[in-house]
Structure 1
């Protein structure tokens, strides 16, 4: 009777595991030893064959007259240092041939390469032949779109190389031409008469135009608050007009730029039972109201301390696209502001919006009141122009009569902006930029003078991986006056909106350049963590004709996360030369409803 496997000694953990397994299967010692010998013999053969396998030392492509040798070699998988593999070499021959066809050499041939086993040299020989060119283009079945119109968008025309990528691009251009003529169901069947030995071919496009489509109705799905007439107005496509793809695409861009729409799907054409055509647009609305509260803290050294913010905003009041905002903030012990704004869209049925802003500032030594009235014109999706006027009045209090002089400013201002971000809250790519110019006439009991202010802003977003995004913002501003710029008109830097890690409005000047760099990790649609570095240069006039340049710097990190109460924001920043105990903390909560 054969001895049980457990009686055979094994000195390794792996052997003990194998012995336990075979024991449970009822395998005898003799059978186990045979299996072990076969396994060791197989491993030995694998090692010997690996040692005898020849490695590739060099790869050459000879005769690649139509393509640079380096480009031809880049198409190959066989590389120096790899084992010589006949199957892989055959696949490389197909890759070379396809590479030549992609640039117009359809008569090219690739010979089986020379493999020098002793030297490890692999040589591919290519006969590229002549470039295959298009000798004739035939269009059939296109009665509703002229031949001249179609030929105007064809890049692979007479005499052009036969390149498949260019043919595919021409197909897309011709389909777009039909879609913009009211034929979205058009189909094109291309064919190429390619014969061996011929360097000239005929390309034939057979059109099936399909029916002419008119948009009889537009149906929005998912708009629980926003009225249909508001969406039609913003989309700028009317029911009953012909289907024109470019207008539909532009309308989708307009809708996707609306702040009160979170998502807008691509439109779908549906044919009704009565034969009419309906354009269906599915969307998801964003909450139309936002309540924001924030509090900040900086170690108290004089003017600093607690800061606060409260804002109530409506983006889509009662589904009418009207918006308004109430804002109150406290920047320090003696500084606070209150703001009211309202925007009426599409005044008199035109793409012009009218707005008004009321602002009141309380600062050490004076109070400031300002009213802005403006009109906004939407030039294109994401692009707008604003023109308006303002009135501003500065009144010193009893402590500032010798520091700040009362004044009144009447002025005009203009602004142009462009928003090309893929989405507003957590953009992964795109650019947003704006430029503003204002001119005002300053009058007081003492003098009358002119004041000019210019500002420019640029935000760029660049994806650095699946979840990493680099966000860079650059800003520049300057204010000038016929005499010295007074304290109340100077630029103010420092705090959460300009240079984080510094105290709110800690730096005053007449010229400033600053930048904000963030390294973001996207956690979700509305969540992220980030590190930031903010820096700037400020020209601070100390007296007439003299100035000093200040270089504020701040760095830190923060998080934006969705919680049960809303979107939570937490920032922690340090200024240049400060320790952890001197950091500024800002907490913000945004609740949408």
Structure 2
């Protein structure tokens, strides 16, 4: 019996081995060619990008099914809800050819739709606010965008808990989509408390004034976002503030919690530069610089005080003080007074006092009115050129600011227009008698900046500026003229190297944004100036255009924000470049 079992076992093994030898070996199939047919709305190149199956890949039936689904999903996302996708395969040895057969059919269109549950707004009003219209093309993304638009509309009117649920969606045989949008409005919500996070106790009342949102107001997400943008421009903050709405036991009340991270209030700005001596002078170069102390939240409240000192060359220096009070009488009203004295080499001493009243209309638009007094006393060497003069001026400024971030913007525009009118009284010196004892000046200045994002963390800055002085005296005195040259307008030239009664300068700068405050830049500047001057008892017009170029770097560090600029004028050698090194430290 045991021998019989052994024989049967051996016989089974021999038969099984024989069957294995009789089976043909499985040869893996490879995709040779992929083709698409029937596609009209989209090119083969567009559709091939969707596919995860490629030529020379191993054939996988599951991957082929997924490819069908990918093409179909793409057509549906573009509004072709009736699209049909299938495939055919043909084999040649170990090679397989695949053909995707597409039947696009007509694109889906908007059929009948209606709103349900809306009480605050009428159905006709809501239909005006959305993009979907009867017989227009229909896509799921358009529907989602319209739902978001209606939700924002409710949010702006105090209904942050509003919900919109699509229902009764149907697609008929001609591709028309009908649906209903069920609106659950929820309660209208008022702000119970405004809560600031991560701020100093002394800053709380200041930030509340700047925010402009009070307890008891109807909540509006749009109003809160605008208030935070305004707060970010007025206060010294680290990053963009954010908010969230916290519910309370009373569904009609909610707390507005604001996350704000303050920077240190005070700052020291310092710039050190070296200007080589002109090639036509036998003298050494000069170290120039600027120091600016800024005290924010000065003596508590939205107050700012500044002390500024500047040295432009071996013989010229400026000294100034200013004080500003913001949100006077709990209004977006600011008042500023400033004092400035300029000692221009051996030419004159200029002293000015100015007051400014500004009003912030919204987070983008600001205006100001100015009133100023100025006195110019010529030095001994210039008493045969300039009179002693006193000037009263008044003017207006208008700013339009759409920059995404004031300190290191990547996108946005900034426009500024300044107009001022001045009456100047002239007094004779011992060696000079002015042609007129009184004259009038009209000064205009326009500044435009545009930041254009290009690639990730890169932007192009384009700026254009124009200024002109109209005067009833042909030759405008030097101290009234616009100045060109230096880090603020025409880099690659000495500070205030050129002057004119009419000037234009433009800046083209490509920026690589390294962090929120850091960047590397390549720039070129152009400046033009013109003025009338007197030579040999003849009055003639002089002027010209200048080009500068260079590199700039701003880097954050524990000490502060460091900056360095290298600039060259159009005719400068490498060794004649102008260097400016600066640091901003908060304390």
- Would you say same fold, with TM above 0.5? yes
Moved more, 484-493 or 569-578: 569-578
- Report the equivalent of 1:106: 81
Show CA shifts across 1:182-239 (max 9, x none): 2211111112532462533321112222333211111111121653332222222120
Shift in alpha-carbon separation, 1:117–1:404, aligned structure 2, 3 A: farther
Alignment of 1:68-147 (within 5 A): 69-70=42-43, 73-77=45-49, 82-83=55-56, 91=66, 93-112=68-87, 124-147=100-123
TM-score, scaled to structure 2: 0.83
Deviation at 1:148, TM superposition (A): 3.4
Which of 203, 207, 224 is 1:231 aligned to? 207
Which of 489, 494, 508 is 2:499 aligned to? 508
Within the alignment, does 1:54 sit opposite 2:32 as a pair? Answer: yes
Q: Residue 279 of structure 1 aligns to a residue in which SS?
A: strand
Shift in alpha-carbon separation, 1:291–1:73, aligned structure 2, 3 A: closer
- Report the equivalent of 1:242: 218
- Report the equivalent of 1:208: 184
Which of 357, 363, 367 is 1:385 aligned to? 367
Deviation at 1:123, TM superposition (A): 6.1
Within the alignment, does 1:398 sit opposite 2:392 as a pair? Answer: no
- Report the equivalent of 2:446: 456
Shift in alpha-carbon separation, 1:167–1:574, aligned structure 2, 3 A: same
- Report the equivalent of 2:564: 570
Which of 257, 272, 277 is 1:280 aligned to? 257
- Report the equivalent of 1:407: 389
Which of 297, 318, 321 is 1:337 aligned to? 318
1:142–1:209: 8 Å Cα contact kept in structure 2? yes
Shift in alpha-carbon separation, 1:266–1:575, aligned structure 2, 3 A: same
Distance 2:79 2:550 in 1: 55
Which of 515, 519, 538 is 1:528 aligned to? 519
Which of 362, 374, 378 is 2:356 aligned to? 374
Alignment of 1:404-553 (within 5 A): 404-445=386-427, 446=434, 447=436, 448-482=438-472, 483-543=474-534, 546-553=540-547
Deviation at 1:279, TM superposition (A): 0.8
RMSD of Structure 2 on Structure 1 (CA): 3.1
Shift in alpha-carbon separation, 1:505–1:49, aligned structure 2, 3 A: farther
Structure 2 residue ranges without an equivalent (≥5): 1-24, 428-433
Within the alignment, does 1:298 sit opposite 2:289 as a pair? Answer: no
Shift in alpha-carbon separation, 1:514–1:194, aligned structure 2, 3 A: same
TM-score, scaled to structure 1: 0.82
1:226–1:316: 8 Å Cα contact kept in structure 2? no
Shift in alpha-carbon separation, 1:437–1:144, aligned structure 2, 3 A: closer
Shift in alpha-carbon separation, 1:338–1:225, aligned structure 2, 3 A: farther
2:273–2:579: 8 Å Cα contact kept in structure 1? yes
Distance 1:233 1:431 in 2: 27
Q: Residue 410 of structure 2 aligns to a residue in which SS?
A: coil
Which of 290, 295, 306 is 1:325 aligned to? 306
